[in-house]
Amino acid sequence: MSTKAEIKYSDIINLPHHVSSKYKPMSIEARSAQFAPFAALTGYNDELAEAERTTSPKIELTENAKEILDNKINYLLHYPNKNNYLKITYFIPDNKKEGGYYKTITTQINKIDSLKKIIYLQDNTSIPISNIIDIIID
């Protein structure tokens, strides 16, 4: 007894495989790419990575630490030696979530704007003085 499928295709089942004379055969990689899974939830992996990313809270300096930092900045204002290399540790706020991270760089100061309370570095980076937690003067 034959199944319906055997009867339905019995007229073509033994014919040779057709090869197009107009188009080149597709590579196995290109054929498999047709069946690759698609991203049903676009951006989901990015959201997971963002949720896993950690930030640090901004450190509030003690009054004593603020006074020491103010003295260092005043020293730099009154004795501006552009050849001094400084090691500055400062807070960079995160754009997407609460907190941020701390960065320590060794650099030279271009100028200090005491009205805007910003330190401009030689590479044109600007750091709000309120984000600085330490300055080491070489």
Query: CA geometry: angle at 121 spanning 133 and 74, to 5°?
Result: 55
d(CA 44, CA 66): 43
Token code pair at residue 55: 């930030």
Report helix, strand or coil for 130: helix
Q: Which residue has the tokens 């040779």?
A: 16
Token code pair at residue 44: 């989901």
Lateral strand order in the sheet of 132-137: 100-107, 86-93, 132-137
pLDDT in tens, 15-62: 888 888 898 888 988 888 877 776 677 788 888 888 888 999 999 999
The CATH 2.30.30 portion of the chain extends over 63-137
Residue 3 has pLDDT above 90, yes or no: no
pLDDT in tens, 64-123: 999 999 999 998 888 877 667 899 999 999 998 899 999 999 998 888 998 999 999 988
Please state whether 28 falls in left (phi above 0), alpha (psi between -120 and 50) or beta. alpha
Report helix, strand or coil for 39: coil
d(CA 27, CA 130): 60
Q: Are 123 and 107 in contact (CB under 8 A)?
A: yes
* 63-137 CATH: 2.30.30
d(CA 105, CA 128): 15
